[in-house]
Structure formats: structure tokens, C-alpha cells
Structure 1
Amino acid sequence: MIFVSDLDRTLIFSRRFLIPGNIILVEKAENREISYMTGQAINLLKEIMKAIVFIPVTTRIVQQFKRISLFQSDIVPEYAVTSNGGRILVKGEIDEEWDSCIMKRMKDVLHPSEIFQKFERIIDSCRVNSCRLCDDMFWTVIMEENYILEEELYNYINWASNNKWKILLSGRKLYILPEFINKWNAVEYINRKLGYKKIISAGDSLVDYELLKKSSLAFVPSHGEIRKYMEVNNIKEDHIRFTESTGIMAGEEILRSLCEYVKSEKK
């Protein structure tokens, strides 16, 4: 059994989600405190790792993932998926076989610079705050608070799709990615080596949806956009379970529910 989980807003949370109680800092950048978990969530994750394989799966690039001190010291997973599936770490080092596969496929699609040149023409109308190329594979675009989905953006989405790129909007973040770069593909690659029959996942955003949909069992924090997306589109997935709590306590609830599930499966 494997547990693959998104990190931000699923297991780890920024200051805006904090509540009184036993809250542990798990990530710093220079002098800035960035992410937290409850002490109980950390203990539950340690218990889970004694019983099954845990693989963090994140859209963060490698350097951002390695800022999370928890996963460099107290809880050190053998595998981690970063860059939305574009990179795989094995014992902290880049999996060269997967990297070679991704780089080879990148040659079969438009170069990221070409994809962005087209996007630059509509930046002003889309109210973009910032843009960043991640690992020379995909773009992360931060929209302004009051952004509007103009017709130009929909036209761009269709053009990108025709060129084997996809656009995912998650809150204010807009991801421009090659179609083959996704979390599920990376997890499937790892599991071909490990050979487990059951994959359990957790995630909060539309970037995680394919991973959640294809898993045997999936947990989703109720504050995440997936719940609204499924309700609006009348999507029913019996294996996807939503938390009762929100915010940082949803992360703890996911881990507690998983602990109970693992124990029941081992009886």
C-alpha cells in the first residue's frame, strides 16, 4: 500500500490557517516562517510511515521541497515527486531515468519559451501579477486578486491544448504544463518499481484531481477547490472522501482517517 499526498493546503499549511494549539513549524526560508503542521499530524504521519510507503507529491520544484525541514530530518521518505510530476527524487537525488524520459518528451512539444510568447500577448488583459518558469518544464502564473477570465485566455487554452499543453487554474495560480507532466504519471512510474496494488492519495486542488480520481482511495480537505468542482459538475466518486474539518485540522483528520484505514486493512 502506498500513500501519495499533495503538501500545501493538504498536509502543510501557511500562517493564515493557524489555530491555537500544538502547532509545529516545518518550513523556513531564510528568516521567514512558511509552513506548519499540528504536532498530532506529525505523529500520525510517523505512524503511517511505519506501516506503509509515504510519497510526498507536490507542484513545488526540488529546492522548494527541500526547504521543508520535516522531510529532511524527522520524516525522510525514500521517494518524492516534485515539479508536478516532472521530477522524482530517490533518497534525495534526482531519478535520472525519469528525468531522461521527461526531457525526451519535452522535445516532442513546443518549447516553454514558445508557449509563453503566445501567453505574453494576453498578460495585460488577464491581470497577471508574476510568471515563473519551473525547472525549464512548465510555467506558474500568479494572477491578481481581481483577475477575470477573459475570452483571450479561453482562446489561449484552446491553442495550448492543440499543441499538447494544458492550462490548470488553481485559485490565483495558473499552471501552463505539457500534457504528460502530471502527478499520476510519476506515481505510476514509481509503483511499477514497487509493485503495490493499492494507491491511496490526498490533495486539495484541481492539479491533484487526476491523481485522486485514479487512486484506490482518496482524501480531500473540505476547504479545497475539488469539492466545489465536483459539486458544480455533479461528479460522483465513491472512493473520494471529504474531511469534516477545514484548514490545518483537515490535514490532521486526513492522517487520522488513513491510520484507521491502514489498521482495518491489516486485521
Structure 2
Amino acid sequence: MTALVATDLDRTLIYSAGALAEGSDPDSPTVCVEHLDGQPLSYMTVRAADLLRELTGVAVVLPTTTRTVEQFRRIDLPGAPWRYAVTSNGGAILANGEPDRAWRAGVDRAVRDSAASLADIGAELDRLGTPEWILKRRTADDLFCYLVVDLATLPSSFVSDWGHWCAERGWNVSQQGRKIYAMPDAVCKSRAVAEVRARLIADGTLPDTAPILAAGDGALDAEMLRAADAAVRPRHGELHALGWECPGLGVTAASGGSAAEEILQWFAHRIPTAAAT
């Protein structure tokens, strides 16, 4: 293997039925890759599923998601099993499907040393009470929290006001559709990706020249894309709405499920050959 491919999942490779159809051929065959309580939840185009399987034969693919461990395990992602996966926005590294306890302990120390506690963030949210625009409030892996909101009644200043309050306490705020995340700055995907790359070089799986190629659609992916040797984002999602760019960033021509196909082809075209290394 000559490259590490770190890719976000939701709205990058996998999609809800509605998001999949955005910008895609309505006649393109699809495959369900996630069920919840017996109901289909997430999809890929068949072409994207085939491309992902092919990619695992020429590169180390590292699923890299803000989903919790439990949420990630619901996905039947083509190309599995995964030697490593990154979940909880970098708060967890799964090695052969099991959380690495030493990594998590290090993340917990970093958060304690640099940021307000999750309890402090929760206490501030408690002061909001239960306005009707907050539909759900969730804590993820005892690391971060998020709100599910009604976009129609969400106060226009909330995200910026909440973001300013959190920034002064070592946290950052990101809105992805109906979800508003509050995340400690110390919990980030790029650090976990770098750790996995170091392990793969140490055990001889990757050469020390192996690049990191990355893809993602949301603000929580931005630092991972910026840290990669080359990166791509779809023509939809939070980063696209922000007009976000960085040096060496590619942007797909397509949106929706077709963007996943384009992202996977983008990766395949940038995998170094063994002779080149």
C-alpha cells in the first residue's frame, strides 16, 4: 500500500435517500448500507460501492467520522472489515473494530488540559431551558454534545453567539443541517489520522513517504482536509455553503450520490504507484 485515504462518511460517501438523489441520476442503482431499528437509513450508489471496494485493494482506507462507535457499527460499509477506523471526530480509534483505550485516555487528558469540561458546556445549555426550536439534545461518547434543531424557528444569532461562548472555553461550534455540534478543540480528526498513519508506517504497512488523501463535507472535516497532502470535498454540504477552500483542495463537479463516485475516482487517480515510491 502506498497511501492512506481518510474519508468522512455521511454526505461524503454515504447518504440519506433524499441527499443521495440530490444531483444524481434518478435511475442510478443504489445499495442500502445502514439500517436502524430494521428500517433503511443510509445509501450509496452501486457504482460508489464498487469503487470503494476497488480502492481498498490499492490503498489503506480509513473511515473517519463524527459518528460514535455505536453509530459507526451500524454501517455495512463496502470494503470492510477495517483494520483501523476513526470515530467520535477523532476521539476514538478503532483497531480491528475495538476502541483503543490508550488513545482515548490521551484524548481525555488533552481535553482536561485545554478546555472547559463537558459538564460546563452542558450547564450552559441547561440555562437555555427547553425552547421549542431544540428538538433533541445529545451527548456523544462522553466527549462532545449536539442539538437537533428546528431550522424554521432557530434564532438567527444562536450559532454565532454559542460559538463565541464556546471558543473562549476551548470548544468550537459547527452546524451541519439540523445538527449543531459543540466540540472540544482537542478532539479532531487530523490528530487521529496522523496517529494511524504513524502506526502503519511503524509496522511496515505504509512507506514513510505515503501521503494522506482526505475527503469531507462539513466544518468538522476542515482541519483534516487542511492537514492532508491532498484533499477533496463535494459540491454540497457545510463547507460548500461556506465557500471553504485550502491549498490543493479539489471540489467535485457533482453533488449528491454522484459526488461520492467522483470523490472515490479522485482518490484512485492520486494513489502513488509502487515504482514511484
Question: What is the TM-score when the length of structure 1 is the normalising length?
Answer: 0.89
What displacement does 1:40 show? 1.5
Q: Could you tell me which residue of structure 2 aligns to residue 69 of structure 1?
A: 76
Quick check: 1:50 aligned with 2:57?
A: yes
**Map 1:88-127 → 2, pairs under 5 A:** 88-108=93-113, 109-122=115-128, 127=133
Q: Could you tell me which residue of structure 2 aligns to residue 143 of structure 1?
A: 149
Segments of structure 1 that go 5 or more residues without pairing to the other structure are none
SS of the residue corresponding to residue 262 of structure 1 reads coil
User: Out of 256, 259, 267, which is 2:268 matched to?
Assistant: 259
Q: Could you tell me which residue of structure 2 aligns to residue 242 of structure 1?
A: 251
SS of the residue corresponding to residue 223 of structure 1 reads coil
2:242 & 2:275 partners in 1: Cα distance? 34
Quick check: 1:215 aligned with 2:221?
A: no
CA contact (8 A) 1:62 1:83 kept: yes
Aligned-partner residue type, residue 116 of structure 1: G
Q: Could you tell me which residue of structure 2 aligns to residue 37 of structure 1?
A: 44
Segments of structure 2 that go 5 or more residues without pairing to the other structure are 202-207
Moved more, 249-258 or 193-202: 193-202
What displacement does 1:121 show? 2.0
Between the two structures, name the one with larger relative contact order (CA 8 Å, sep ≥ 6): 2
Distance verdict in 2 for CA 1:155–1:39, change over 3 Å: closer
Structure with greater helix percent: 1
Aligned-partner residue type, residue 247 of structure 1: G
Percent of pairs with identical residues: 31
1:192 & 1:34 partners in 2: Cα distance? 34
1:151 & 1:116 partners in 2: Cα distance? 19
1:54 & 1:131 partners in 2: Cα distance? 32
CA contact (8 A) 2:33 2:77 kept: yes
Q: Could you tell me which residue of structure 2 aligns to residue 4 of structure 1?
A: 6
SS of the residue corresponding to residue 180 of structure 2 reads strand
1:252 & 1:209 partners in 2: Cα distance? 21
Q: Could you tell me which residue of structure 1 aligns to residue 205 of structure 2?
A: none
1:90 & 1:154 partners in 2: Cα distance? 37
SS of the residue corresponding to residue 270 of structure 2 reads helix
Distance verdict in 2 for CA 1:266–1:105, change over 3 Å: same
Deviations 1:19-73 (A, max 9, x none): 32221111111211011111111111111111111000001000110001236xx
What displacement does 1:150 show? 4.8
CA contact (8 A) 1:126 1:153 kept: no
Quick check: 1:83 aligned with 2:88?
A: yes
Aligned-partner residue type, residue 102 of structure 1: V
Question: What is the TM-score when the length of structure 2 is the normalising length?
Answer: 0.86
Aligned-partner residue type, residue 169 of structure 2: N
CA contact (8 A) 1:126 1:150 kept: no
User: Out of 187, 201, 206, which is 2:219 matched to?
Assistant: 206
Moved more, 221-230 or 6-15: 221-230
Moved more, 189-198 or 130-139: 189-198
Aligned-partner residue type, residue 254 of structure 1: I
1:169 & 1:39 partners in 2: Cα distance? 29
Distance verdict in 2 for CA 1:236–1:25, change over 3 Å: closer
SS of the residue corresponding to residue 103 of structure 1 reads helix
CA contact (8 A) 1:165 1:177 kept: yes
Deviations 1:164-195 (A, max 9, x none): 12212222211111110011111112122223
CA contact (8 A) 1:13 1:248 kept: yes
1:202 & 1:130 partners in 2: Cα distance? 28
Aligned-partner residue type, residue 118 of structure 1: E
In the alignment of these two chains, the number of paired residues is 261
Aligned-partner residue type, residue 215 of structure 1: A
Aligned-partner residue type, residue 59 of structure 1: T
CA root-mean-square deviation: 2.2
Aligned-partner residue type, residue 116 of structure 2: L
